[in-house]
Structure 1
Amino acid sequence: MRIKYKRASAGLAAALTGAAVATVVATNAGATPGPTVHLGAGEHYAAQVTRTEYGIPHVLAPTLGSAGYGYGYTFTQDNLCSLADAVLTLRGERSKFLGPDGTVDNGGGPATNVDSDTYFRSLNDAHVVERLLTGRNAPSKQARELVAGYAAGVNRYLRDTGADRLPDPTCRGKAWVRPITELDVWRMMHHLNQLGGLSGFTTSIATAAPGKQNGTAPAPAVHNDIGSNAWGLGSDVTKDHSGMVLGNPHFPWSGMFRFYQVQLTVPGLLDVAGGSVFGTPTVEVGHNHDLAWTHTVSSAQRFTLFQLKLQPGHPTTYLVDGKAEPMKQKVVRVPVRGKDGTVTEVRRTLYDSRYGPVIADSWGADSAFAVRGSNVDNLRDVDEWLGLGRARTIGELNAVQRKHQSMPFVDTIAADKSGTTYYGDVSVVPNVTDAQAARCVDTPEGHAMYPRTIVLDGAHGNCAWGTDKDAVQPGTFGPSTAPQLTRHDYVSNSNESAWLTNADAPLTGFPRIYGDIADTRSPRDRLSHQMIADRRAGTDGLGAPGFDLPSLQGAMLGDRELTAEMAKSDVVAMCRANPSLTATDGTTVDVRQACDVLAKWDGKADTTSRGTVLWREFWLRAIATKPGVHYLVPFDPEHPVTTPNKVDTSTPGLRASLADAVQVITAHGLALDVAFGDTQFTDGRIPVAGCTGAEGCFNITNAADRTLRDDGTYGPIEFGSSFIMAAQLTPDGPRVRTILTYSLSANPASPHHTDQTVLYQHKQWVTERFTQDEIAAGGSASTIRE
């Protein structure tokens, strides 16, 4: 459908071309009221930004460019320092301003500044993003307008405020706080796409050299538990037969991959609200009037390795079909600031193959490894997220995904107001069929790593990726191969393969590179399906059967631990029968008090729960011990949600783990029944609920350490539940509750730095304002003209 959005928005455009004004709006929420700001029209941009409770911005504009302008300005008010730091990283200038020895996490673990700069400068020197901006699948005119406006809005705020007067002391007056370009924003989008792929090899690409032999098992650096939970709930399981969506991304609590909450409205074209990754101008998890969607990190692989057979005596030449091919060499120059302030230049030679960059790991005399990431050629996702924001039905959403095929490392879960739900992993996946894997995974290293990591034999040219006929991007699978499911009961995903999207309708027939079929599910995924089953039956203590907003919110923040539900009673029985257990160091430990604590524990990871710490210290040790946790009832693919079960409490490792847990907790001066919130909290000492996936939590929270630190805490929260959205799509419009767990602003001086975190502590939610009447209903307004 073609929408003439400029004409439809003409009245708004006229209203916004006057002098800049600011309107202060009083809200009814008891939180710090936010302003409604008409940003000056500038050359061709004009936007109205209304901040409601907790500072949440609602951008109203006549064009996509102006919407981007308002969004860029508003985001920068809250998070300029984070954005400036990300731009510094993507330009490859951290060493120039901050020195070479600091570290930065680009999404695959920490890398030194100089390694990070080398990696990004190699991409920038090759003009990777510029090539994609002019290629066959280049972004549309509308996408470019949005990005251009966003960059202009960022720069308008910086120009108005000045680096020396920034409200955030983190970067106030810093030389690296500078205007940004449209290219910086596109680089942000491109880098986001590399999560789970090339960015995990940052250090390995930057330090590759012949014969370096850095390690023996090449693999990307990854964060455990980074991912998401997602539910699409249909008319068969909701009380009013509407569609509902639960979005629960698990992402970092600091750095460039935090979420921001926003609404973008361009009358006649776009009206979408939800969460957006820092520095990106689109809503990536959200809803419009009729449809809601979310994403989880899919189990599909986003790269493959190629093992190169080197020509004897020539470590930078490899053989393909018996013919020698020299590696392409390029010198990357990185400016580096010394301790005395002098800037010198570090030069590194990087190596490339027909398959992709050569990595440091296991580069020996006979072989080396190259990595190819599937998203290196993907810059289509701005258009796809704009399309999702405009889609009204599951059918329209599916058409958008088939057109763009740009979801970088995520699958999509959605529902519309008719009560139809959808799951699809229509994402950018390397085209490696099972038959090709059987033929081309033929080296000892390849066999050892398959299927966790696919290592193809680079000595054979026919082991390169294939291309489906319906694939937009060469080297990938098309939508006809991707696992997809439409239902009227539910679809779900918790970072497992598509096989158990619905427990009653397992998906099969997709290539193994998308994930395993009929395999053991993680405790988190099993709990997800169990929570849905319990709600359908009304056995979870949240009211009559079926989902509505209160029960969906209650289920999300119930903080259940599946491992406790499966094993606590048996462990308590073992403990009572053996009041003394032998620890790993041979010490005899009295565990009677531990028995009592676990028996009284509510089996949850709430901040007020007493026993959670003891269970964590015990369980994480037990699963890491052999023999530790062993199930008497093994996994049964006919009963994947309820198996394996029945923990064998006779194993020596399990018993020693309980004794070790008692020793560790008491050695830290803590009571065995210490409240969980006394050990897991933010830097500001705000207690945070939730636990790790290994413990069987649905509501993921990962602190710096999984076992107690010397100070008796788990350290600051690093990642976990971030932008949580519970959306109900009624005939009268969306009803939505949200929580941005770490709050809107990374600025420690902002009133919106921890306000939603306090809500999260108390399991409270924000009632979203979506319509213009709801947004305006925050209270009376007064106008200040400039």
Structure 2
Amino acid sequence: MRWKLVTCAVASLTALPLAVVVPAGAAPTGPYRAEIRRTAYGIPHVKAADYAGLGFGEGYAFAQDNLCVMASHLVTLAGERSRYFGPDAATDDPLVSTSNLASDVYQQAELRSGTVRRLIAQPAPLGPTREVRDIVRGYVAGYNRYLRDTGVSRLPDSTCRGAAWVRPMTELDVYRDMYQVTQIEGVEQAIDPIVDAAPPTAGKAVRTKPPVLPKADAGSNAYGLGRGATRGGTGGMVLANPHFPWAGVGRFYQVQLTIPGRLNVSGVALYGTPLVEIGHTEHLAWSHTVSTAARATFYRLTLVPGDPTSYVVDGHREAMTKRTVTVQVRGKDGRLGSVSRTLYDSRYGPVVADGWTTTNAYAIRDVNARNVRAMNTWLAMDQADSVAQLRKAQDTYQGVPFTNTIAADSTGQAYYADASVAPHVTDDQLKSCAVDGPELALDGSTSRCAWGSDPDAIEPGIFGPSRTPRLSRTDYVTNSNNSPWLTNPDAPLTGFPRIFGDTGTERSLRTRLGLDMVKQRLAGTDGLGPRGFDLASLRRTMLGDRDLSAELLRDQLVAYCRAHPTLTATDGTSVDVRSACRVLAAWDLRTDTGSKGAVLWRAFFFAAAASRLFRTPFDPAHPVTTPRDLNTADPGVGRAVADTVQRMTALKVPLDEPLGAAQRYAGIAIPGCPGAEGCFNAIYPASLPLQADGTYSDVTSGSSFIMAVSLTPAGPRASTILTYSESANPSSPHHTDQTRLFSAKRWVQDRFADAEIAADPAYRTTRVTG
């Protein structure tokens, strides 16, 4: 056991740039004190007597591991990326696809608007609670203390060592970071059209195409297992499998946070957020999956004739507001210049470029535009110890920004809810207010189409808890990013507002596989032992790496190509496909790193994507087993086989290349496959076509934090994997150590109790005060 004592003098926060003045009564009454206990793989277990101290210890530990990633994101939040990195490069946020210049204009406009300052100045529950303010204040102080003690010139990560853009963090940074997170499924996806928006002028081309709001590159799987689905004395169990980026601020940081007698939670926090968003307490565990509920609607504005910056509502004229933003830009010669943009706003929200003509324009309204309650919600969930307490936390603060919640507790209660913030647009409004243009575009010329509200909603414009989809079971609940409808096929969820998602429609292959794995485990037909889940079978289910598309179609494709040993490629070439048939026939139908045939199948599957691949169409009466059967009547199927063999041969890639030889991260073989292919363990290389060297580009997203937890009366028993490891610093011993575990399908023992933590052979502790 090794001890280290770090004593720090905390600098005045008001001396830092963009500092927030903490409300009266929230100032610290004594020094920050925390203990950072590290166990295997560098996982910190932070312990303190109060929330400010807890935040201080977490901020200090996080900075030790990942300061450079956060420092880069602070440049983004300040709207200064063009100054340091040039205007044309993409930002550091993999969830928001935009250039540095567009990001800077948007961020500086948001910063100068003072929106977040006003929102956090509200009293709780709309504004931050006292506990949230304390943990944020401490987190900032801890991060800054590590930066000051170490010095920019001595940072261990060469990515930002000595960089002029590294600066201290402020409390406003943390709140703005979380505010940005809440909107990643909404207005954050519209930064480019917001920045590009301008009224039509003579001689300028008009972008008549209606706007489109893309989805962020995020998803997840989760199981909540009740006492009817578990065995061996277990109450409930949870499987968490969020699919998030493997680089940048979209990564998770694994941590345990403990205030004896008040808080004890273990799990992961998004970079820069001082709370656990997915994890477990002593008797409760939960995870999130990205929900299908809408986060924003477009409003079509009817413009005043002759004035394209004014619009009409209920017959009355309203003028758009304008804000001109000037940002510094570093040119290719290294010199600084400036670029100005004017942004336009309406009563509904920002005006976008697409569809702005002389008669109409579109504005986007984000349901999370006033949501700084997310941190209140997650801290209350971190304090919960039962499904009932978790539900109360969510109902009290109503701040979950864009995800479903899947949970279970030690009594064996399983729970699903889409308790996320959703626009209050009724089914009748979707019919009567819909206008031509993008999906979810409403008529902005009449207040009849404005968002409504519910008596139990915390603020106007959103659905209250009583209207949201929920399901409590003692067997199981699941979600893999489809709508709530088949959370449990034995109890389909219907009757919820359509803006939360659809019913009676085709489910993804990943959703179907997740449900099938539960069904087989409960029947004991999956080869994993007696029926019902225990911790070992839950881990093996998660990393079984089945490929549902192949299970449904492989045998029929082998029979087809055996019957047609020569097929015609798109370019008209005749291709001998007999070797491919033999490889596919011998394949184990898994996407393990050693699986031979997985690379070949993936190439075929995506080559055939434009074909009508399934012969038996989707049937709402059999939603978990349809569509199915290979449609060999479609000539595209044969062409896809020939094209695949032709391309792999041209690249000199063996048709039986093992998956691990092609799919890698930092040189480490990675199991799994894209969710669209039918994999539960969803893994996404940066691009799918094989490169000239027979590999995919490195994995950039997919299974990120995996947690299998059993909630017993004696306390939690859990196993975890942080697939990309704890530190983004390439020189850290914890940069890829868990990645190698993931490659080998090995797990980390979750250490929750003090005795378990102290017994870890890698245990070391640091006491920090300030």
TM above 0.5, one fold?
A: yes
Contact 2:344 2:351 survives alignment (8 Å): yes
Per the alignment, residue 94 of structure 1 pairs with 81
Q: CA deviation at 1:464?
A: 1.2
Q: Residue 471 in 1 paired to residue 457 in 2?
A: yes
SS at match of 1:544: coil
Q: Residue 671 in 1 paired to residue 654 in 2?
A: yes
Alignment of 1:292-371 (within 5 A): 292-371=285-364
Q: CA deviation at 1:322?
A: 2.9
Q: CA deviation at 1:223?
A: 4.3
Per-residue CA distance 1:469-522 (angstroms, 9 max, x = gap): 111122110101100000000000000100111011000001111000111100
Which residue, 627, 631, 645 being the options, matches 2:628? 645
Alignment of 1:176-215 (within 5 A): 176-211=165-200, 213-214=206-207
Q: CA deviation at 1:40?
A: 4.7
Gap regions ≥5 residues in structure 2: 11-29
Q: Residue 629 in 1 paired to residue 613 in 2?
A: yes
Q: Residue 166 in 1 paired to residue 155 in 2?
A: yes
Q: What amino acid is aligned across from residue 112 of structure 2 in structure 1? A: D
Per the alignment, residue 135 of structure 2 pairs with 146
Contact 2:95 2:216 survives alignment (8 Å): yes
Per the alignment, residue 509 of structure 1 pairs with 495
Structure 2 distance, partners of 1:60, 1:86, is: 27
Structure 1 distance, partners of 2:260, 2:741, is: 32
Structure 1 distance, partners of 2:467, 2:491, is: 18
Per the alignment, residue 443 of structure 2 pairs with 457
Per the alignment, residue 702 of structure 1 pairs with 684
Which residue, 382, 388, 393 being the options, matches 1:395? 388
Gap regions ≥5 residues in structure 1: 1-22, 25-34
Contact 1:57 1:263 survives alignment (8 Å): yes
Q: CA deviation at 1:282?
A: 0.2
Per-residue CA distance 1:620-648 (angstroms, 9 max, x = gap): 121223xx31332x222222111121221
SS at match of 2:552: helix
Structure 1 distance, partners of 2:258, 2:714, is: 18
- Relative to structure 2, which stretch is displaced further, 180-189 or 205-214? 205-214
Per the alignment, residue 732 of structure 1 pairs with 714
Contact 1:274 1:284 survives alignment (8 Å): yes
Structure 2 distance, partners of 1:508, 1:40, is: 56
Identity %: 52
Which residue, 267, 290, 297 being the options, matches 1:274? 267
Structure 1 distance, partners of 2:766, 2:470, is: 52
Contact 2:226 2:412 survives alignment (8 Å): yes
Q: Residue 599 in 1 paired to residue 592 in 2?
A: no
Q: CA deviation at 1:253?
A: 0.3
- Relative to structure 2, which stretch is displaced further, 596-605 or 482-491? 596-605
Per-residue CA distance 1:274-295 (angstroms, 9 max, x = gap): 0110010000000010100110
Q: Residue 745 in 1 paired to residue 745 in 2?
A: no
Structure 2 distance, partners of 1:659, 1:781, is: 56
Q: What amino acid is aligned across from residue 455 of structure 2 in structure 1? A: K
Structure 1 distance, partners of 2:452, 2:144, is: 43
Per the alignment, residue 431 of structure 2 pairs with 438
Structure 2 distance, partners of 1:755, 1:431, is: 46
Contact 2:39 2:764 survives alignment (8 Å): no
Q: Residue 236 in 1 paired to residue 228 in 2?
A: yes
Contact 2:38 2:762 survives alignment (8 Å): no
Structure 1 distance, partners of 2:288, 2:618, is: 28
Contact 1:105 1:111 survives alignment (8 Å): no
Per the alignment, residue 164 of structure 2 pairs with 175
Q: CA deviation at 1:214?
A: 4.2
CA gap of 1:607–1:783, structure 2 versus 1, over 3 A, is closer
Q: CA deviation at 1:783?
A: 9.0
SS at match of 2:184: coil
Provide the TM-score with structure 1 as the length reference: 0.92
SS at match of 1:84: helix
CA gap of 1:624–1:98, structure 2 versus 1, over 3 A, is same
Per the alignment, residue 19 of structure 2 pairs with none
Per-residue CA distance 1:72-124 (angstroms, 9 max, x = gap): 00000000000001111011111122221221154554311110001111111
Q: CA deviation at 1:378?
A: 0.4
Per-residue CA distance 1:430-451 (angstroms, 9 max, x = gap): 011100111100x332xxx4xx
Q: Residue 685 in 1 paired to residue 672 in 2?
A: no
Structure with the bigger RCO (C-alpha within 8 Å, sep 6+) is: 2
SS at match of 2:739: helix
Contact 1:298 1:425 survives alignment (8 Å): yes
Per the alignment, residue 505 of structure 2 pairs with 519
Per the alignment, residue 112 of structure 2 pairs with 125
Q: CA deviation at 1:65?
A: 0.5
Structure 1 distance, partners of 2:339, 2:262, is: 49
CA gap of 1:39–1:436, structure 2 versus 1, over 3 A, is farther
Structure 2 distance, partners of 1:55, 1:710, is: 37
Alignment of 1:545-556 (within 5 A): 545-556=531-542
CA gap of 1:717–1:36, structure 2 versus 1, over 3 A, is farther
SS at match of 1:104: coil
Structure 2 distance, partners of 1:503, 1:177, is: 51
Contact 1:742 1:756 survives alignment (8 Å): yes
Q: What amino acid is aligned across from residue 715 of structure 1 in structure 2? A: S
Q: CA deviation at 1:466?
A: 0.8
Structure 2 distance, partners of 1:332, 1:454, is: 30
Per the alignment, residue 145 of structure 2 pairs with 156
Per the alignment, residue 47 of structure 1 pairs with 34
Structure 2 distance, partners of 1:736, 1:80, is: 28
Q: CA deviation at 1:370?
A: 0.6
Contact 2:39 2:763 survives alignment (8 Å): no
Q: What amino acid is aligned across from residue 644 of structure 1 in structure 2? A: P
- Relative to structure 2, which stretch is displaced further, 610-619 or 757-766? 610-619
Q: Residue 588 in 1 paired to residue 574 in 2?
A: yes
Per the alignment, residue 102 of structure 2 pairs with 115
SS at match of 1:256: helix
Q: What amino acid is aligned across from residue 543 of structure 2 in structure 1? A: L
SS at match of 1:734: strand
SS at match of 1:610: coil
Alignment of 1:477-492 (within 5 A): 477-492=463-478
Contact 2:301 2:311 survives alignment (8 Å): yes
Which residue, 42, 46, 58 being the options, matches 1:59? 46
Residue-pair matches, total: 742
Q: CA RMSD in A?
A: 1.7
